[in-house]
Amino acid sequence: MSMEMPKTPMLDQLESGPWPSFVSGLKRLAQSEDKSYAPMMKDLLGQLERSYQTRKGYWKGGTIGVVGYGAGVIPRFSELKDEFPASAEFHTLRIMPPAGMHYTAEILSQLCDIWEKYGSGLIALHGQSGDIMFQGIRSENVQPCFDEMNELGFDLGGAGAGVRTSISCVGAARCEHSCFDEARAMRMLVNAFLDEMHRPSLPYKFKFKVSGCANDCANAIQRSDFAVIGTWRDEIQADQDEIRRIVARRGRKWLIDQVITLCPSHALSLNDDDSLDIANHDCVRCMHCINVLTKALSPGRVRGATVLIGGKRTLKIGDLMGSVVAPFLRLESDEDYEALLDLARRVMDFFIDNALEHERTGEMIERIGLVNFLEGIGLEVDPNMIRHPRTNSYVRTDGWDEEAAKWKARHGAAE
Ligand code: SF4
């Protein structure tokens, strides 16, 4: 077993940029000499350096699980186990987070203690599906580690061709833009499809994501098969006195430049008396004006959610944002939430019956046609359904290094 810190000239370069580097984190764990996982992390760094040199990954899969579950542990066996024996097995435990990612410090501390006892100390909060990713554990530790986390109230998340762990934004507990009970919607959907998560049996992955408004903090539109995104049906609530105070403080030009001209549907105008005119029938609920004028504007009173199906970047057929299939669902009463669940069941049944192997919902809809899909799930075509809000979610990254340097200057070199 190698106990020396491996030489990692290529990985070291990744620490030289302005952003925090995962390499520094791995080194910190490897240098924790009093911890049992230090040798594992040293060998992991050694293998990773080799991967950078040869441009080759050395992990292979296998079968690892815990009693009663068919998914949730990602097996990682090293092809370089003779050279790096301490990290020969480096499995990942996917654990479902609480709705809205609300943790107490005590729970986080208990999770860390369990992971230090059995695993590598390396945790990713959170993976793209939403799971807490506990990365790096040997086969014999998987079951006892999961048992202790389960005792704390946590369950394994999804993996493989099944329902994946769901995610919801921070929601009504911390955000005034919330348009429904996000945590309730997420828990309801997860609980209803727990079998498909624990025993993957679908043609391919299926993800639910829940965001309380169109800011979409859960990335639902581009990263989920079934996106529930909050919206409202009536008029934006406006406090005109507050608008006037903002104009008095920041000027008419600021409001026009920062809010009115940036409204994508030109639904805003500033009156002579410094009040804001909102053409609500033109508003596409993008959230921009509400985000900028948080104190003065808020979503309407008739709130609910839009459901979009088939988002994913990147699919074999390219990037897809979800298509709107339910423009507005009121989400207040038990019946309203039951209706959302009923829609989810119909979509899931159709997906199971009609998708090809290794085909996501977006690809299935492209293949069979949106009209056939709507007919299959029993929805009437509605002019408010939107097929392509935008098809490409790529952002240009030119100039990011300069932005990073400015950020560093603002926050001090110590960062
Ligand atoms: Fe315009 Fe968006 Fe505000 Fe609607 S929410 S008025 S579309 S900026």
Distance CA 164, CA 131 (A): 9
Q: Can you read off the two tokens belonging to residue 71?
A: 């998914």
From atom 4 of ligand 1, which residue's Cα is the shortest distance away?
A: 283
Nearest CA-CA partner of 99 in 205, 231, 209: 209
Fold that domain 237-298 belongs to in CATH: Alpha-Beta Plaits (3.30.70)
Residue 51: in which H helix or E strand, if any? helix 38-54
- How far does the centroid of ligand 1 lie from the alpha carbon of residue 241, in Å? 19
Q: Can you read off the two tokens belonging to residue 7?
A: 């030489």
Q: Using a 6 Å cutoff on CB, does residue 263 contact ligand 1?
A: yes
Q: Can you read off the two tokens belonging to residue 321?
A: 């944002």
DSSP state of 259: I
CB 210 within 8 A of CB 184: no
CA distances (Å), 376 to each of 98, 193, 347, 362, 365, in order? 33, 20, 8, 15, 11
- How far does the centroid of ligand 1 lie from the alpha carbon of residue 295, in Å? 15
Residues 6+ apart with CB under 8 A from 150: none
DSSP state of 98: P
Q: Using a 6 Å cutoff on CB, does residue 284 contact ligand 1?
A: yes
Residues 6+ apart with CB under 8 A from 257: none
Kindly give the interhelix angle for 22-30 and 38-54, rounded to the nearest 10 degrees.
Answer: 140
What is the reported pLDDT for 210? 96
CB 209 within 8 A of CB 228: yes
From atom 8 of ligand 1, which residue's Cα is the shortest distance away?
A: 263
Q: Using a 6 Å cutoff on CB, does residue 259 contact ligand 1?
A: no
Please indicate whether the domains covering 167-233+303-411 and 237-298 agree at the CATH topology level: no
Q: Using a 6 Å cutoff on CB, does residue 285 contact ligand 1?
A: yes
| Total residue count of the chain as it appears in this document | 415
Q: What is the dihedral of CA 40, 42, 47, 53, to 10 degrees?
A: 170
The residue written with tokens 């290529």 in the block is 10
- Cis preceding linkage at 391, omega within 30: no
- Cα dihedral across residues 175, 386, 346, 356: positive or negative: negative
The CATH classification number of 167-233+303-411 equals: 3.30.413.10
pTM: 0.87
CA distances (Å), 358 to each of 64, 220, 333, in order? 22, 21, 37
- How far does the centroid of ligand 1 lie from the alpha carbon of residue 279, in Å? 9
What is the reported pLDDT for 130? 83
| Domain chopping of the chain, boundaries | 9-54, 59-151, 167-233+303-411, 237-298
> Which ranges of 119-207 would DSSP assign to H, the alpha helix?
139-151, 182-192, 194-198
DSSP state of 275: P
Distance CA 294, CA 239 (A): 10
CB 343 within 8 A of CB 208: no
Fold that domain 59-151 belongs to in CATH: Alpha-Beta Plaits (3.30.70)
From atom 2 of ligand 1, which residue's Cα is the shortest distance away?
A: 286
Q: Region of 236 please: left (phi>0), alpha (psi -120 to 50) or beta.
A: beta
From atom 3 of ligand 1, which residue's Cα is the shortest distance away?
A: 289
Q: Tell me the mean pLDDT per 10 residues along the chain, length 415.
A: 81 91 95 92 97 96 89 94 96 93 95 96 86 95 97 91 92 94 95 93 94 94 94 96 97 96 94 96 94 96 96 82 91 96 97 95 92 90 69 57 74 53
Q: What number does the ligand 1 atom closest to the CA of 278 have?
A: 6
Give how far the C-alpha of residue 247 lies from the chain's centroid of Cα atoms, to the nearest Å. 37
Q: Can you read off the two tokens belonging to residue 213?
A: 């408004």
- How far does the centroid of ligand 1 lie from the alpha carbon of residue 293, in Å? 11
What is the reported pLDDT for 414? 45
Q: Using a 6 Å cutoff on CB, does residue 126 contact ligand 1?
A: no
User: For 328-336, which contacts have Cβ atoms below 8 Å and span 24 or more sequence positions?
Assistant: 328/231, 328/233, 328/304, 328/384, 329/304, 329/305, 330/302, 330/303, 330/304, 331/179, 331/180, 331/181, 331/185, 331/303, 331/304, 331/305, 332/180, 332/304, 336/304
User: For 266-275, which contacts have Cβ atoms below 8 Å and span 24 or more sequence positions?
Assistant: 273/244, 274/243, 274/244, 274/247, 274/248, 275/240, 275/243, 275/244
